[in-house]
Protein backbone atom coordinates (compact mmCIF):
# COMPACT_ATOMS: atom_id res chain seq x y z
CA UNK A 1 0.00 0.00 0.00
CA UNK A 2 1.19 3.52 -0.76
CA UNK A 3 2.09 5.68 2.21
CA UNK A 4 0.04 8.85 2.22
CA UNK A 5 2.97 11.02 3.31
CA UNK A 6 5.11 9.78 0.41
CA UNK A 7 2.49 9.85 -2.35
CA UNK A 8 0.05 12.64 -1.49
CA UNK A 9 1.28 14.89 1.31
CA UNK A 10 1.64 18.56 0.33
CA UNK A 11 0.95 22.07 1.53
CA UNK A 12 -2.33 23.81 0.73
CA UNK A 13 -2.63 27.35 -0.56
CA UNK A 14 -5.87 28.95 0.62
CA UNK A 15 -5.95 32.53 -0.60
CA UNK A 16 -2.78 34.02 0.92
CA UNK A 17 -2.52 31.31 3.61
CA UNK A 18 -0.30 28.23 3.32
CA UNK A 19 -0.93 25.23 5.55
CA UNK A 20 1.71 22.79 6.76
CA UNK A 21 -0.19 19.79 5.36
CA UNK A 22 -3.26 18.78 3.34
CA UNK A 23 -4.64 16.58 6.13
CA UNK A 24 -7.35 18.51 7.96
CA UNK A 25 -9.51 17.95 11.04
CA UNK A 26 -13.22 18.51 10.43
CA UNK A 27 -15.43 20.76 12.55
CA UNK A 28 -17.42 18.55 14.94
CA UNK A 29 -20.08 20.02 17.21
CA UNK A 30 -19.23 19.54 20.87
CA UNK A 31 -15.71 18.24 20.28
CA UNK A 32 -13.36 20.42 18.26
CA UNK A 33 -12.71 22.96 20.97
CA UNK A 34 -9.37 24.69 21.42
CA UNK A 35 -7.59 21.82 23.29
CA UNK A 36 -8.50 19.27 20.63
CA UNK A 37 -7.56 21.55 17.74
CA UNK A 38 -4.13 22.30 19.20
CA UNK A 39 -3.49 18.58 19.68
CA UNK A 40 -4.44 17.76 16.09
CA UNK A 41 -2.20 20.53 14.77
CA UNK A 42 0.74 19.28 16.84
CA UNK A 43 0.24 15.81 15.36
CA UNK A 44 0.38 17.11 11.80
CA UNK A 45 -3.06 18.42 10.84
CA UNK A 46 -2.74 21.39 8.48
CA UNK A 47 -5.93 22.93 9.87
CA UNK A 48 -8.40 22.08 12.62
CA UNK A 49 -11.74 23.88 12.47
CA UNK A 50 -13.83 25.11 15.38
CA UNK A 51 -17.11 23.36 15.98
CA UNK A 52 -19.89 25.00 14.01
CA UNK A 53 -20.81 28.42 15.36
CA UNK A 54 -24.11 30.18 14.71
CA UNK A 55 -23.63 33.37 12.69
CA UNK A 56 -26.83 34.70 14.24
CA UNK A 57 -25.57 33.81 17.72
CA UNK A 58 -22.52 36.01 17.18
CA UNK A 59 -24.65 38.78 15.74
CA UNK A 60 -26.66 38.91 18.96
CA UNK A 61 -23.61 38.50 21.24
CA UNK A 62 -24.71 35.13 22.60
CA UNK A 63 -22.14 34.29 25.31
CA UNK A 64 -22.43 30.51 24.91
CA UNK A 65 -21.72 30.85 21.20
CA UNK A 66 -18.77 33.16 21.83
CA UNK A 67 -17.18 30.61 24.21
CA UNK A 68 -16.74 28.22 21.30
CA UNK A 69 -14.20 30.61 19.78
CA UNK A 70 -11.54 30.51 22.50
CA UNK A 71 -8.09 30.55 20.90
CA UNK A 72 -4.59 31.94 21.39
CA UNK A 73 -1.25 32.32 19.63
CA UNK A 74 -0.52 28.58 19.81
CA UNK A 75 -3.10 28.02 17.07
CA UNK A 76 -2.19 29.46 13.68
CA UNK A 77 -3.64 29.72 11.13
CA UNK A 78 -7.03 29.73 12.80
CA UNK A 79 -10.20 28.47 11.07
CA UNK A 80 -13.78 29.06 12.28
CA UNK A 81 -16.87 27.37 10.87
CA UNK A 82 -20.08 29.41 10.68
CA UNK A 83 -23.64 28.14 10.29
CA UNK A 84 -26.69 30.07 9.15
CA UNK A 85 -28.68 31.23 6.14
CA UNK A 86 -28.75 35.06 6.40
CA UNK A 87 -25.99 36.79 4.40
CA UNK A 88 -25.99 39.91 6.56
CA UNK A 89 -25.53 37.81 9.71
CA UNK A 90 -22.53 36.09 8.13
CA UNK A 91 -21.00 39.41 7.14
CA UNK A 92 -21.46 40.82 10.64
CA UNK A 93 -19.99 37.66 12.19
CA UNK A 94 -16.96 37.70 9.89
CA UNK A 95 -16.28 41.38 10.58
CA UNK A 96 -17.03 41.19 14.31
CA UNK A 97 -14.73 41.01 17.32
CA UNK A 98 -15.43 37.34 18.09
CA UNK A 99 -13.83 36.12 14.85
CA UNK A 100 -11.15 38.83 14.65
CA UNK A 101 -8.35 36.35 15.38
CA UNK A 102 -9.52 33.87 12.73
CA UNK A 103 -7.94 34.12 9.29
CA UNK A 104 -10.18 31.50 7.66
CA UNK A 105 -14.00 31.29 7.68
CA UNK A 106 -15.57 27.99 6.66
CA UNK A 107 -19.27 28.05 5.76
CA UNK A 108 -21.30 25.03 6.81
CA UNK A 109 -23.43 23.99 3.83
CA UNK A 110 -23.38 20.28 4.62
CA UNK A 111 -24.98 19.64 8.03
CA UNK A 112 -27.81 17.09 7.51
CA UNK A 113 -29.52 17.37 10.92
CA UNK A 114 -33.32 17.85 10.55
CA UNK A 115 -33.59 21.01 12.67
CA UNK A 116 -30.79 22.63 10.67
CA UNK A 117 -32.44 21.69 7.38
CA UNK A 118 -35.80 23.08 8.54
CA UNK A 119 -34.12 26.42 9.18
CA UNK A 120 -32.81 26.49 5.61
CA UNK A 121 -29.24 26.07 6.87
CA UNK A 122 -26.52 23.48 6.32
CA UNK A 123 -27.21 21.07 3.48
CA UNK A 124 -30.47 22.84 2.62
CA UNK A 125 -28.34 25.51 0.95
CA UNK A 126 -27.26 23.04 -1.76
CA UNK A 127 -30.79 23.51 -3.13
CA UNK A 128 -30.59 27.31 -3.15
CA UNK A 129 -27.52 28.36 -5.14
CA UNK A 130 -28.42 32.09 -5.31
CA UNK A 131 -28.67 32.34 -1.52
CA UNK A 132 -25.52 30.26 -1.02
CA UNK A 133 -23.67 32.60 -3.40
CA UNK A 134 -24.81 35.66 -1.44
CA UNK A 135 -23.55 34.10 1.79
CA UNK A 136 -20.10 33.40 0.31
CA UNK A 137 -19.91 36.93 -1.11
CA UNK A 138 -20.92 38.37 2.27
CA UNK A 139 -18.12 36.46 4.01
CA UNK A 140 -15.59 37.52 1.38
CA UNK A 141 -16.33 41.18 2.12
CA UNK A 142 -14.59 40.64 5.47
CA UNK A 143 -11.25 40.18 3.74
CA UNK A 144 -10.79 36.73 5.29
CA UNK A 145 -10.08 33.54 3.37
CA UNK A 146 -13.37 31.73 2.79
CA UNK A 147 -13.94 27.99 2.43
CA UNK A 148 -17.16 26.02 2.02
CA UNK A 149 -18.02 22.52 3.26
CA UNK A 150 -20.96 20.89 1.50
CA UNK A 151 -22.51 17.62 0.37
CA UNK A 152 -23.23 16.55 -3.25
CA UNK A 153 -26.96 17.11 -2.79
CA UNK A 154 -29.99 16.28 -0.69
CA UNK A 155 -30.51 12.81 -2.14
CA UNK A 156 -29.52 10.72 -5.21
CA UNK A 157 -32.17 12.47 -7.33
CA UNK A 158 -30.97 15.95 -6.34
CA UNK A 159 -27.25 15.95 -7.09
CA UNK A 160 -25.91 19.47 -7.53
CA UNK A 161 -22.22 18.93 -6.80
CA UNK A 162 -20.64 20.27 -10.01
CA UNK A 163 -22.88 23.32 -10.27
CA UNK A 164 -22.49 24.03 -6.57
CA UNK A 165 -18.70 23.75 -6.71
CA UNK A 166 -18.56 26.19 -9.64
CA UNK A 167 -20.89 28.59 -7.82
CA UNK A 168 -18.57 28.51 -4.79
CA UNK A 169 -15.54 29.36 -6.90
CA UNK A 170 -17.38 32.05 -8.88
CA UNK A 171 -18.60 33.64 -5.62
CA UNK A 172 -15.07 33.93 -4.27
CA UNK A 173 -14.51 30.75 -2.21
CA UNK A 174 -10.82 29.94 -1.78
CA UNK A 175 -11.29 26.22 -1.09
CA UNK A 176 -14.14 23.71 -0.90
CA UNK A 177 -14.56 20.50 1.07
CA UNK A 178 -16.95 17.87 -0.27
CA UNK A 179 -18.43 15.33 2.14
CA UNK A 180 -19.01 12.44 -0.23
CA UNK A 181 -22.45 11.48 1.07
CA UNK A 182 -25.82 12.98 0.22
CA UNK A 183 -27.98 14.42 2.96
CA UNK A 184 -30.21 11.32 2.84
CA UNK A 185 -27.17 9.13 3.63
CA UNK A 186 -26.45 11.17 6.79
CA UNK A 187 -23.17 9.69 8.14
CA UNK A 188 -23.52 6.13 6.86
CA UNK A 189 -22.45 4.29 3.74
CA UNK A 190 -19.39 4.38 1.53
CA UNK A 191 -18.47 7.83 0.23
CA UNK A 192 -19.46 8.58 -3.37
CA UNK A 193 -15.99 9.08 -4.78
CA UNK A 194 -17.22 9.96 -8.25
CA UNK A 195 -19.15 12.97 -6.92
CA UNK A 196 -16.10 14.35 -5.11
CA UNK A 197 -14.16 13.83 -8.35
CA UNK A 198 -16.87 15.75 -10.23
CA UNK A 199 -16.35 18.73 -7.92
CA UNK A 200 -12.59 18.52 -8.41
CA UNK A 201 -13.03 18.53 -12.18
CA UNK A 202 -15.37 21.53 -12.04
CA UNK A 203 -13.09 24.07 -10.31
CA UNK A 204 -9.54 25.34 -10.04
CA UNK A 205 -9.48 26.08 -6.29
CA UNK A 206 -8.35 23.35 -3.84
CA UNK A 207 -10.86 20.56 -3.22
CA UNK A 208 -10.73 18.56 0.03
CA UNK A 209 -12.33 15.11 0.25
CA UNK A 210 -14.24 14.09 3.37
CA UNK A 211 -16.20 11.01 4.44
CA UNK A 212 -15.38 7.57 5.79
CA UNK A 213 -11.65 8.09 6.26
CA UNK A 214 -10.71 5.85 9.18
CA UNK A 215 -7.28 4.56 8.16
CA UNK A 216 -4.29 5.37 6.00
CA UNK A 217 -5.62 2.89 3.44
CA UNK A 218 -8.94 4.79 3.28
CA UNK A 219 -7.12 8.12 2.91
CA UNK A 220 -4.99 6.80 0.04
CA UNK A 221 -8.07 5.31 -1.64
CA UNK A 222 -9.87 8.64 -1.33
CA UNK A 223 -7.02 10.47 -3.04
CA UNK A 224 -6.72 7.86 -5.78
CA UNK A 225 -10.44 7.78 -6.51
CA UNK A 226 -11.13 11.52 -6.41
CA UNK A 227 -7.98 13.37 -7.41
CA UNK A 228 -8.62 15.70 -4.46
CA UNK A 229 -6.03 18.09 -3.07
CA UNK A 230 -6.27 16.73 0.45
CA UNK A 231 -8.39 14.87 2.98
CA UNK A 232 -10.47 15.88 5.97
CA UNK A 233 -10.74 13.47 8.89
CA UNK A 234 -13.94 13.61 10.93
CA UNK A 235 -15.17 11.19 13.61
CA UNK A 236 -12.17 8.87 13.40
CA UNK A 237 -9.99 11.79 14.40
CA UNK A 238 -11.78 11.69 17.76
CA UNK A 239 -11.12 7.97 18.16
CA UNK A 240 -7.47 8.06 17.19
CA UNK A 241 -5.88 11.49 16.66
CA UNK A 242 -2.58 9.74 15.96
CA UNK A 243 -3.91 9.18 12.44
CA UNK A 244 -2.67 12.71 11.69
CA UNK A 245 0.87 11.71 12.59
CA UNK A 246 0.64 8.55 10.49
CA UNK A 247 -0.71 10.35 7.42
CA UNK A 248 1.74 13.24 7.59
CA UNK A 249 4.80 11.29 8.71
CA UNK A 250 5.06 13.40 11.88
CA UNK A 251 7.43 11.79 14.37
CA UNK A 252 5.85 11.48 17.79
CA UNK A 253 6.18 9.39 20.94
CA UNK A 254 2.65 10.27 22.02
CA UNK A 255 0.20 7.59 23.17
CA UNK A 256 -3.50 7.85 23.92
CA UNK A 257 -2.59 8.16 27.59
CA UNK A 258 -0.20 11.07 27.06
CA UNK A 259 -2.67 12.72 24.66
CA UNK A 260 -5.64 12.56 27.02
CA UNK A 261 -3.55 13.81 29.96
CA UNK A 262 -2.37 16.64 27.74
CA UNK A 263 -5.97 17.46 26.86
CA UNK A 264 -6.77 17.51 30.58
CA UNK A 265 -3.96 19.99 31.27
CA UNK A 266 -4.96 22.33 28.44
CA UNK A 267 -8.65 22.19 29.34
CA UNK A 268 -7.84 22.98 32.97
CA UNK A 269 -5.99 26.12 31.84
CA UNK A 270 -8.69 27.29 29.42
CA UNK A 271 -11.96 26.41 31.16
CA UNK A 272 -13.38 26.25 34.65
CA UNK A 273 -13.19 22.85 36.34
CA UNK A 274 -16.74 21.78 35.47
CA UNK A 275 -16.37 22.66 31.79
CA UNK A 276 -12.90 21.09 31.64
CA UNK A 277 -14.14 17.81 33.10
CA UNK A 278 -17.16 17.70 30.81
CA UNK A 279 -14.91 18.24 27.79
CA UNK A 280 -12.28 15.64 28.78
CA UNK A 281 -14.90 12.99 29.56
CA UNK A 282 -16.36 13.38 26.04
CA UNK A 283 -12.94 13.14 24.40
CA UNK A 284 -11.89 10.20 26.59
CA UNK A 285 -15.07 8.31 25.66
CA UNK A 286 -14.10 8.53 21.98
CA UNK A 287 -10.51 7.52 22.76
CA UNK A 288 -11.90 4.41 24.49
CA UNK A 289 -13.78 3.18 21.43
CA UNK A 290 -12.44 -0.15 20.13
CA UNK A 291 -10.14 -0.45 23.15
CA UNK A 292 -10.83 -3.81 24.88
CA UNK A 293 -11.73 -3.77 28.55
CA UNK A 294 -12.48 -0.08 28.84
CA UNK A 295 -16.28 -0.24 28.89
CA UNK A 296 -16.35 -1.36 32.52
CA UNK A 297 -14.30 1.67 33.56
CA UNK A 298 -16.48 4.27 31.86
CA UNK A 299 -18.91 4.65 34.84
CA UNK A 300 -15.98 5.49 37.11
CA UNK A 301 -14.79 8.11 34.63
CA UNK A 302 -18.18 9.79 34.51
CA UNK A 303 -18.58 9.61 38.30
CA UNK A 304 -15.27 11.37 39.00
CA UNK A 305 -15.82 14.52 41.03
CA UNK A 306 -12.74 16.63 40.34
CA UNK A 307 -9.86 16.93 37.90
CA UNK A 308 -7.35 15.05 40.06
CA UNK A 309 -9.71 12.11 40.56
CA UNK A 310 -10.50 12.06 36.85
CA UNK A 311 -6.81 12.15 35.98
CA UNK A 312 -6.15 9.08 38.15
CA UNK A 313 -8.98 7.19 36.43
CA UNK A 314 -7.64 8.16 33.00
CA UNK A 315 -4.22 6.78 33.94
CA UNK A 316 -5.85 3.55 35.00
CA UNK A 317 -7.93 3.28 31.81
CA UNK A 318 -5.30 4.13 29.24
CA UNK A 319 -2.23 3.02 31.18
CA UNK A 320 -3.62 -0.51 31.39
CA UNK A 321 -4.54 -0.69 27.70
CA UNK A 322 -1.05 0.47 26.66
CA UNK A 323 0.96 -1.68 29.10
Are residues 157 and 15 part of one domain?
yes
Are residues 211 and 164 part of one domain?
yes
Give me the pLDDT at residue 242, please: 97
Are residues 186 and 215 part of one domain?
yes
Are residues 276 and 228 part of one domain?
no
**Residues labelled catalytic:** 111
Q: How far is CA 24 from CA 21, 70, 153, 176, in A?
A: 8, 19, 22, 12
Are residues 312 and 243 part of one domain?
no
Are residues 264 and 194 part of one domain?
no
Rounded CA separation 199/305 (Å): 49
Q: What is the CATH number of the domain that holds 35?
A: 3.20.20.70
| Boundary-marking domain end, from 231, 248, 265 | 248
| Boundary-marking domain end, from 248, 273, 290 | 248
CA atoms within 13 A on the CB side of 299: 1
Give me the pLDDT at residue 67, please: 78
Cα of first residue to Cα of last residue in the chain, in angstroms, is 29
Q: How far is CA 204 from CA 6, 139, 152, in A?
A: 24, 20, 18
pLDDT (tens, 9 = 90+) of the chain, 323 residues, equals 789 999 999 999 999 999 999 999 999 999 999 999 999 999 999 999 999 999 998 877 777 777 789 999 889 999 999 999 999 999 999 999 999 999 999 999 999 999 999 999 999 999 999 999 999 999 999 999 999 999 999 999 999 999 999 999 999 999 999 999 999 999 999 999 999 999 999 999 999 999 999 999 999 999 999 999 999 999 999 999 999 999 999 999 999 999 999 999 999 999 999 999 999 999 999 999 878 878 888 899 999 999 999 999 999 999 865 54
Number of domains within the chain? 2
Contacts of 298 (CB under 8 A, 6+ apart): 285, 288
Are residues 286 and 162 part of one domain?
no
**Dihedral through CA 87, CA 147, CA 52, CA 213, nearest 10?**
150
Q: Which helix (H) or strand (E) holds 92?
A: helix 87-95
Are residues 167 and 310 part of one domain?
no
Are residues 307 and 274 part of one domain?
yes
Are residues 190 and 98 part of one domain?
yes
CA atoms within 13 A on the CB side of 178: 37
Rounded CA separation 25/126 (Å): 22
Are residues 192 and 54 part of one domain?
yes
Report the DSSP beta bridge partners of residue 83. 54
Domain, as residue range, for 16: 4-248
Closest by Cα among 39, 104, 105 to 74: 39
Q: Which 3-state string (H, E, C) describes 202-265?
A: HCCCCEEEECCCCCHHHHHHHHHHHCCCEEEECHHHHHCCCHHHHHHCCCCCCCHHHHHHHHHH
Using only C-alpha atoms, the chain has a radius of gyration, in whole angstroms, of: 19
Closest by Cα among 315, 266, 244 to 44: 244
| Boundary-marking domain end, from 248, 264, 292 | 248
Rounded CA separation 316/110 (Å): 39
Q: Are 287 and 319 in contact (CB under 8 A)?
A: no
Are residues 106 and 51 part of one domain?
yes
Amino acid sequence: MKKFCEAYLKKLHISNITTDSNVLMAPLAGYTGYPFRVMCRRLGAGLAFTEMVSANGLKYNDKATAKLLYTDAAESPKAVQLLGCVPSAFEAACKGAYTADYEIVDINMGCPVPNIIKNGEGCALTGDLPLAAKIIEACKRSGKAVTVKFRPGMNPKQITVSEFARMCEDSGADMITVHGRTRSMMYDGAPLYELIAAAKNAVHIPVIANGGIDSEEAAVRMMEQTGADGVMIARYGLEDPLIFARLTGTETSETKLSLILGQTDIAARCFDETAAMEYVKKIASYFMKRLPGTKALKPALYASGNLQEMREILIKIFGETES
